[in-house]
Structure 1
Amino acid sequence: MAELKPHRTITLSFQHMDDIEHVDDAIHKDISSATRCGDSLFVCCDETAGVDRLTPDGGWGNHTHFNLGDFIDLPDGPGGEMDIEGLDCDGQWLWITGSHSLKRGKFKPAEHDPVEGLAQMAKIKRDPNRYFLGRIPLKANPDGYAPVGEDGARRATWIELKKKSSKLIGWLEDDPHLGPSLTIPSKEYGFDIEGMVGRGMRVWLGLRGPVLRDHAVILELEMKVDGDGFLKPRRIDGDRRYRKHLVPTAGEGIRDLEVDGDDLLILTGPTGAGDGRSDILRWHGFMGETRSACVPPERVTHVMEMPYRGAVDHPEGLVNWPEEDKGVLVLYDAPAEARLPEPEKILADVWKLPG
């Protein structure tokens, strides 16, 4: 079968990491999510504590990095990674979430002998910056939208951050479906957020893991601002502060989410660390679902399968692209060399959704 081809490609141009404070990795090679607000395209690298804005310049460039630690008191400091895995623009608000996941130590053969490697692999690490979930005002400037701590009466708000714990994880600890996954590292089928959308004060979080009997999990929260100025989910499912939607995904985890009219587009991919298939699904009328339940199969349709390229070009970001009818922009992690035409540049694909 001939490989599917994108409708067109666009070039994204970034500053060199040495020119950006608190950035130690090449942003364009490690994109984890994306969203668009007008002519501002926001992307994030999961190795930083910030978001990055591109604007049209023939391709997309004029790169500006915004360090969230400039106006958020992050428990690991402004230089600690947030593992941002979800971005979404709702009007002039930018919703942001970290993965809320654990990570296992790595065996590095160049640094460890085999016995030391075994000890490293026994270490489970918790980065408190990863527990961020909040929304940030976007201020309209002549050069594009900028995330700020406040803009008039609008202020950045988030779920209260703790040095040694996560409030969201605490609310999930006794959950019969998700509780067992909370002590398991990401990419080993543990709890791992990798997509989000926000509309008003409703937020949907897509989980890469766990996957339950071929169903991926989307958590829905309805936020309020408490007396201390923090976001806090309301109790919306009995005593629980969230709804669970189990979406039939044929065993794939969620990599990103995007609202399309009344529907939710779901970018899927492997749950574990290995390579595998990636698809775009459509959950019809998702905002009308107001109870925890399994989503009926007839409510979820398969839109398209993304080309599989093995160890490279893993689809990670999904953005509606209004310049094309039924167009979406897909951005990739682990880019192939052919996707890197020049230093600090990467090619992203515009796909036209069938139907």
Structure 2
Amino acid sequence: MRHVDDPLHKDLSAVTRIGECLFLACDETASVERLQRLDDGCFGEHRHFALSDLVDLPAGPDGEMDIEGLCAANGFLWIVGSHSLKRCKPRKDDGDREHALQRMERIQHEPNRYFLGRVPLAEEAPGLFVPVRSDGGRSSAWFKLGKKRSALAKWLGGDPHLGPFVSIPSKENGLDVEGLAVSGNRVWLGLRGPVLRGHAVVLDLQIKAKAESRLKARRVDGDRRYRKHLLDTRGLGIRDMRLDGDDLLLLVGPTMSLEGPAFVLRWRDAVHDDASGVIAPGRIETVAELPYQLHVDHPEGLELWPEAGPGALLIIYDAPAPERTDPDTFTVRADVICPSGAETGFLGRLMDAAGTRPERADDQSQ
């Protein structure tokens, strides 16, 4: 596996649940991590799955995917990369101002970031699922990947609202996919950027299998292969999404490299919107305001958690605060939020021996 700067549990970027399993992703790797429920109700027994074993990646196993969304639906694990560009940062120890300026001229393309696809989930024991390349008549499939441009960026290039932002790096209000929700052949992508006059953007696609290992989006809005929904999020970008019946829950927070508060919003009857447009503000409700700390606890992942009560949600964080982590055991805690206000608590141990060198998929964690 490629080198990562921090242990996996400090860079969590996405979460989804199926059966007794939590699948998580780190935005610096090209892999997914599986945890299973333990007897004490926590999650551990970490297993690592390199996605290069399951799909074909243009930059291979060491190329960063910047996975920002996971969704377990219809027997598949859906995965989306950020589809974003990245401007180089000046090094903190670089005393040469001109050299630092030249570094910031460079905009990097990471081909693996353009991934949008799915891999089958095989049930190896009751409630215990493993991602595989194929399972009976089901196979891994994904959108065509390019070296310099994704299919999504190509479609959005001529969009009057989004086209100007496709070639802008993500941390500068450029294109940045972070939310993912799936139902049947319908896929919603939530954008952290761009944010347009305080409105976040959700793209709505109808997916079809084009050929073996290949997915394609149908034309659903004239010649466009996506519907475009704009929601007034008070200037916040979408960090994750999850379907809740006919509604779409949105985890929203600061866009670009900003620090600030985050919320969970509910978009009422989202599944019935079959045309592009601006969503009426009355259909967007605030479910919860999340605790805010400067420089730590950046909300990145959202999942339903019904056993904690009606409307309960699991929230995972990037850059978790020190009190969430145990550096000796590589464990981390996540919030379970009850919108009724009756309870705010912790899920318990989420990561078991993740570290910077995760085990192979056929090994047991320590």
- In structure 2, stretches of 5+ residues that fail to align are 342-366
Once residues 79 and 261 of structure 2 are traced to their aligned partners in structure 1, the CA distance between those partners, rounded to angstroms, is: 26
Once residues 159 and 280 of structure 1 are traced to their aligned partners in structure 2, the CA distance between those partners, rounded to angstroms, is: 29
With normalisation by structure 1, the TM-score equals 0.92
> What is aligned with 1:68?
51
110-119 or 57-66, which deviates more: 110-119
**1:15-94 aligned within 5 A:** 21-22=1-2, 24=4, 25-57=6-38, 58=40, 59-94=42-77
Match of 2:334, SS state, is strand
TM-superposed CA distance for 1:111, in Å, is 4.6
> 1:79 is matched by which residue type in structure 2?
D
**1:117-136 aligned within 5 A:** 117-136=100-119
1:207 is the counterpart of 2:191: yes
1:171 is the counterpart of 2:152: no
With normalisation by structure 2, the TM-score equals 0.89
Across the aligned residues of Structure 1 and Structure 2, the Cα RMSD in angstroms comes to 1.3
Q: Are the counterparts in 2 of residues 50 and 67 from structure 1 also a CA contact under 8 Å?
A: yes
> What is aligned with 1:219?
203
With over 3 angstroms needed to count, the CA separation of the structure-2 counterparts of 1:254 and 1:84, relative to structure 1, is: same
With over 3 angstroms needed to count, the CA separation of the structure-2 counterparts of 1:72 and 1:227, relative to structure 1, is: closer
Once residues 64 and 21 of structure 2 are traced to their aligned partners in structure 1, the CA distance between those partners, rounded to angstroms, is: 23
> What is aligned with 1:156?
140
Please list the CA deviations of residues 79-131 of structure 1 after superposition, one character each: whole Å capped at 9, or x if unmatched: 11100001011132111100000000011122562221111111100100000
TM-superposed CA distance for 1:261, in Å, is 1.5
With over 3 angstroms needed to count, the CA separation of the structure-2 counterparts of 1:145 and 1:112, relative to structure 1, is: farther
> 1:222 is matched by which residue type in structure 2?
Q
Once residues 179 and 166 of structure 2 are traced to their aligned partners in structure 1, the CA distance between those partners, rounded to angstroms, is: 18
TM-superposed CA distance for 1:322, in Å, is 2.2
Q: Are the counterparts in 1 of residues 77 and 131 from structure 2 also a CA contact under 8 Å?
A: yes
1:352 is the counterpart of 2:338: yes
Once residues 61 and 135 of structure 1 are traced to their aligned partners in structure 2, the CA distance between those partners, rounded to angstroms, is: 24
> 2:337 is matched by which residue type in structure 1?
W
With over 3 angstroms needed to count, the CA separation of the structure-2 counterparts of 1:322 and 1:99, relative to structure 1, is: same
- Give the fraction of aligned pairs with identical amino acids, expressed as a percent: 51
> 1:136 is matched by which residue type in structure 2?
V
TM-superposed CA distance for 1:73, in Å, is 1.6
**1:1-355 aligned within 5 A:** 21-22=1-2, 24=4, 25-57=6-38, 58=40, 59-111=42-94, 113-142=96-125, 144-227=128-211, 229-325=213-309, 326-343=311-328, 344-354=330-340
Size of the aligned set, in residue pairs, is: 335
Q: Are the counterparts in 1 of residues 261 and 290 from structure 2 also a CA contact under 8 Å?
A: yes
TM-superposed CA distance for 1:212, in Å, is 0.8
Q: Are the counterparts in 2 of residues 75 and 162 from structure 1 also a CA contact under 8 Å?
A: yes
TM-superposed CA distance for 1:213, in Å, is 1.2
Once residues 22 and 148 of structure 1 are traced to their aligned partners in structure 2, the CA distance between those partners, rounded to angstroms, is: 21
> 2:115 is matched by which residue type in structure 1?
F
Q: Are the counterparts in 1 of residues 33 and 49 from structure 2 also a CA contact under 8 Å?
A: yes
- In structure 1, stretches of 5+ residues that fail to align are 1-20
> 2:8 is matched by which residue type in structure 1?
I
Once residues 62 and 214 of structure 1 are traced to their aligned partners in structure 2, the CA distance between those partners, rounded to angstroms, is: 42
> 1:282 is matched by which residue type in structure 2?
R
TM-superposed CA distance for 1:164, in Å, is 2.5
Once residues 60 and 326 of structure 2 are traced to their aligned partners in structure 1, the CA distance between those partners, rounded to angstroms, is: 35
Match of 1:268, SS state, is strand
TM-superposed CA distance for 1:23, in Å, is 5.3
Once residues 124 and 91 of structure 1 are traced to their aligned partners in structure 2, the CA distance between those partners, rounded to angstroms, is: 37
Match of 1:48, SS state, is coil
